[in-house]
Chain A
């Protein structure tokens, strides 16, 4: 039986269970003289039976769907390893891929050696047997659940409590998905990074200044080892982020101050949503704009005043990224500035200060923690931004602080290393995960600090 139809039959059984159990509770109520003699509403008896019937089956089915692949692969490969002891490292994945292809009918059976053909057949039969065993077993389990749910119906039975408990658990599960996601991120980047650091020492990765990740196809080829010193990537990322901040912080902050302190209501009502448009534009659009309009413009302006500017200059990519971040900073700054109590402003104005003096000497210092938090969040945004730099920044790793030259960033390298078909356990692909780990740690620290600062600040004026 197909897994889809199994799921469908379990759902149908659950619906049947709902109607049967509800009907039974209604009959019981009629005999006693009304629904009020039942502990719970008839719907809850129905729900309880449906949950007993459907939930275990669906959960187990989902687990089988998710884990049957790795499980069957493991069994099959264990069988193969018994017959030929030569499978190690990348040979493992290669053999597995071969077996999968033969089993799927992509490769003809007679083109591979008999061990693999037998393993493929083994895989095929394991899959079929497993699927049919699981399908019939789960349908039987659901039938049992249906019976159990049906016989539970009695006027004294507290159906509502059970149902509510199950739903509460489901809601808790939804909330815990956030933790699972974080865990998944940490584990996925950590495992591959550890593998990477086995071939390339961590000190070379963090402190090395030469980045050229191409690895050779043959072992004896020149330059086969590749160089994984990530310093040029870090400096490139910092350079572009710094350019972005130079654009975004003054403009974002000043427009927030103007809109919060000076602009009249009508202007503010139009200007704020218009600024927010910048935040809603997809980054790929900014990337296109940076690569095709801003970069040539910057280059032409540079050459007209006698400077040699790269056509993938950090200035163009960083500048456009800064513009993308303006609304981010301005809305965060706006929040914290409006949160400063009016009494502080009134006090300063009453002492004879002008409005700008009030803003500079009173409002900004009072709002400073919040602003700093916002800027930190913006920095983390800039470091992790991908599409703009992929499209408008360079690929060559260069150690420079000149924004007119082309530099590359961590995210650019992650994309170039991982896009396309690559062997999964070469240091080249693993390097991308090590970069991902660095990126995750950096942004995580920035975020934690920033969120803490902002939270503390909010509490101060609440």
Chain B
């Protein structure tokens, strides 16, 4: 009797401590979830706050006189002459006319440094589009240099970053702003051009097109092969050591570090088969090998979810096993397989390391036009820009990340939608 009382007392005495432990434990769990979710928020705000500025660029307005004597071009149809023309002098002359009293080498150099080094070529393109302008004076918006762009944007935010601009340049900028001749405009360049050493002229078009070609190759190879392998393993494979060996291989490949696939591409595709470096075809092949395990595993799950009664009914009607698979199992499993393929492609779109190994890291200005053109891809472009010392590239990098994340979100949403719309619950 006293013994029972004793243990009851002991339990009751410990209850407060045990409940405290219980509450503490729940709080650890809550904190863990909160921390992880908080991090998602921090990451996105950090990237967006850094990159939002890159979608707008600073432009300055100048009165440009397309003087044939100045550029040394009289006939716009002669390509060689046009290419040799002194287009920069258009900008220089117009700038000197805009601000009077600029004398001395240093001042002139600083004045020219206000504008992007590509501004002259932009004017050339404009003139080629409107040949009638030759000899006329037009008021045009020109790209400014990235240091000026950074200064102007930081000034608008209230905290001017003037480390890379001179007093004189600030005076000129003040004048331009006062006359309404300097403003932020939508950054078209970012979406229409390839890479450049000058941040204000750099765009992601080249990388986007490269990513598109690479993914196209990867999808065209990995989806049929992945589905084929999944069908074989689920529907036809005998229970043998060989089959088991294949399964072990697939599961292991899914966990092999991606950089190893890059080494495989380098040693086998480039050095043995002599495939040229840096092309989307090669990138696509390497990414195919990398995403295949994912696609095979999800496709197998999709095939497994088709109930056996469907197969039995079809077999009962006299269909062969191949007909059962082709006419019944595959159509029913397709949404699940597509979901898996899209998730695999999203993984491939964000992959960087193996592509570094096969040389897709080269500096490429031109937008690729085919599978065999040298190209780079979006994540590699992000890596390249993040390595650049210019401050303006930080903004570009974040903006490119936003574009990449945007694509990933769209792909994942598509996967979820396909699953919700088309997948049947049995």
Residues of B contacting A327 with CB < 8 Å? 36
Residues of A contacting B248 with CB < 8 Å? 451
A220 to chain B, nearest CB (A): 30
Contact A282 B252 (CB under 8 A): no
A384 to chain B, nearest CB (A): 2
Contact A280 B320 (CB under 8 A): no
Contact B257 A254 (CB under 8 A): no
Contact B232 A288 (CB under 8 A): no
Contact B292 A70 (CB under 8 A): no
Question: Per-position contact with A for B213-252: 1 when CB-CB < 8 Å, else 0?
Answer: 0000000000011101101110011000000011011111
A179 with B245, Cβ < 8 A, contacts A174-B229, A271-B37, A282-B408 known: yes
A350 to chain B, nearest CB (A): 15
Contact A250 B260 (CB under 8 A): no
Q: A440's contact among B35, B224, B256, by CB below 8 Å, is which? A: B256
Q: B266's contact among A323, A360, A418, by CB below 8 Å, is which? A: A418
Question: Is B187 part of the contact surface with A, judged by Cβ < 8 Å?
Answer: no
Stretch at the interface among B198-206, B269-277, B308-316: B269-277
> Closest A-chain residue to B31, C-beta based?
A254
Residues of A contacting B35 with CB < 8 Å? 251
Residues of B contacting A173 with CB < 8 Å? 228
> Closest B-chain residue to A443, C-beta based?
B257
Interface residues of B in 359-392 (CB under 8 A from A): 361, 379-380, 382-383, 386
Question: Is A167 part of the contact surface with B, judged by Cβ < 8 Å?
Answer: yes
Question: Per-position contact with A for B285-321: 1 when CB-CB < 8 Å, else 0?
Answer: 0000100110010000000000000000000000011
B133 to chain A, nearest CB (A): 41
Contact A414 B267 (CB under 8 A): no
Stretch at the interface among B15-23, B90-98, B115-123: B15-23
> Closest B-chain residue to A168, C-beta based?
B236
A462 to chain B, nearest CB (A): 15
Contact B320 A189 (CB under 8 A): no
B374 to chain A, nearest CB (A): 13
Stretch at the interface among B105-113, B155-163, B168-176, B349-357: B349-357
A387 with B353, Cβ < 8 A, contacts A70-B274, A189-B267, A277-B40 known: yes
Residues of A contacting B225 with CB < 8 Å? 174, 177
Contact A386 B32 (CB under 8 A): no
B409 to chain A, nearest CB (A): 8
Residues of A contacting B383 with CB < 8 Å? 284, 287, 387, 390-391
Bound form: Cα–Cα A174–B249 in Å = 13
B198 to chain A, nearest CB (A): 21
A180 to chain B, nearest CB (A): 9
> Closest B-chain residue to A448, C-beta based?
B252
Bound form: Cα–Cα A153–B227 in Å = 31
B14 to chain A, nearest CB (A): 11
Question: Is B134 part of the contact surface with A, judged by Cβ < 8 Å?
Answer: no
Contact A288 B386 (CB under 8 A): yes
Contact B271 A424 (CB under 8 A): yes
Residue from B257, B274, B292, B353 with most neighbouring chain A CB atoms (10 Å): B257
Contact B39 A278 (CB under 8 A): yes
Contact A356 B271 (CB under 8 A): no
Q: A355's contact among B22, B229, B296, by CB below 8 Å, is which? A: B22
Q: B260's contact among A253, A284, A360, A384, by CB below 8 Å, is which? A: A384
How many positions in chain B have a CB within 8 Å of any CB in the partner chain? Answer: 85
Contact B21 A356 (CB under 8 A): yes
A188 with B228, Cβ < 8 A, contacts A175-B237, A254-B32, A356-B25 known: no
Contact A262 B26 (CB under 8 A): yes
Question: Is B58 part of the contact surface with A, judged by Cβ < 8 Å?
Answer: no
A169 to chain B, nearest CB (A): 10
Residues of B contacting A171 with CB < 8 Å? 228-229, 231-232, 236
Interface residues of A in 237-287 (CB under 8 A from B): 250-255, 257-259, 261-263, 271, 274-275, 277-278, 280-285, 287
Question: Is B65 part of the contact surface with A, judged by Cβ < 8 Å?
Answer: no
A408 to chain B, nearest CB (A): 15
B393 to chain A, nearest CB (A): 11
Contact A258 B252 (CB under 8 A): no
Question: Per-position contact with A for B33-48: 1 when CB-CB < 8 Å, else 0?
Answer: 1011101100100110
A178 with B229, Cβ < 8 A, contacts A355-B22, A359-B25, A433-B267 known: yes
Question: Per-position contact with B for A333-354: 1 when CB-CB < 8 Å, else 0?
Answer: 0000000000000000000101
A451 with B252, Cβ < 8 A, contacts A171-B236, A391-B386, A411-B353 known: yes
Main secondary structure, interface of B, reads helix
Question: Is A222 part of the contact surface with B, judged by Cβ < 8 Å?
Answer: no
Residues of B contacting A301 with CB < 8 Å? none
A439 with B267, Cβ < 8 A, contacts A285-B404, A418-B357 known: no
Question: Is B397 part of the contact surface with A, judged by Cβ < 8 Å?
Answer: yes
How many positions in chain A have a CB within 8 Å of any CB in the partner chain? Answer: 95
Q: B292's contact among A177, A258, A424, by CB below 8 Å, is which? A: A177
Residues of B contacting A274 with CB < 8 Å? 37, 40
Contact A188 B47 (CB under 8 A): no
Residue from A67, A185, A282, A360 with most neighbouring chain B CB atoms (10 Å): A282
B408 to chain A, nearest CB (A): 6
Residues of A contacting B361 with CB < 8 Å? 419
Contact A411 B259 (CB under 8 A): yes
Contact B268 A414 (CB under 8 A): no
Q: B356's contact among A191, A415, A448, by CB below 8 Å, is which? A: A415
> Closest A-chain residue to B416, C-beta based?
A273
Contact A288 B259 (CB under 8 A): no
Contact A384 B259 (CB under 8 A): yes
Question: Is A69 part of the contact surface with B, judged by Cβ < 8 Å?
Answer: yes
Residues of B contacting A189 with CB < 8 Å? 260, 263, 267
Bound form: Cα–Cα A252–B231 in Å = 35
Contact A255 B29 (CB under 8 A): yes
Stretch at the interface among A122-130, A139-147, A375-383: A375-383
Question: Per-position contact with B for A442-454: 1 when CB-CB < 8 Å, else 0?
Answer: 0110011011000
A430 to chain B, nearest CB (A): 11
Contact A174 B228 (CB under 8 A): yes
Residues of A contacting B46 with CB < 8 Å? 289, 293
Residues of A contacting B382 with CB < 8 Å? 284-285, 288
Residues of A contacting B296 with CB < 8 Å? 178
Contact A439 B260 (CB under 8 A): yes
Residues of A contacting B386 with CB < 8 Å? 284, 287-288, 291-292, 391
Bound form: Cα–Cα A439–B264 in Å = 13
Bound form: Cα–Cα A459–B263 in Å = 36
Bound form: Cα–Cα A177–B18 in Å = 56
Residues of B contacting A254 with CB < 8 Å? 28-29, 31-33
B174 to chain A, nearest CB (A): 31
Q: A284-B352, A285-B47 are in contact. List 9 more A-B contacts (CB 8 A).
A: A164-B320, A171-B236, A188-B264, A288-B386, A356-B26, A357-B22, A415-B259, A419-B357, A440-B256
6 interchain residue pairs of minimum CB distance: A384-B257, A258-B29, A282-B350, A188-B267, A174-B228, A254-B32
Would you give 18 A-B contacts (Cβ < 8 Å), ordered by A?
A: A164-B322, A168-B236, A172-B232, A176-B246, A177-B225, A182-B252, A191-B267, A280-B412, A281-B350, A281-B405, A282-B351, A377-B255, A384-B258, A384-B260, A440-B256, A440-B260, A447-B255, A450-B255
Partner-B contacts on A (CB < 8 A): 66-67, 69-70, 73, 160, 164, 167-168, 170-179, 181-182, 184-185, 187-189, 191-192, 250-255, 257-259, 261-263, 271, 274-275, 277-278, 280-285, 287-289, 291-293, 323, 326-327, 330, 352, 354-357, 359-360, 377, 380-381, 383-387, 390-391, 411, 414-415, 418-419, 424, 432-433, 436, 439-440, 443-444, 447-448, 450-451
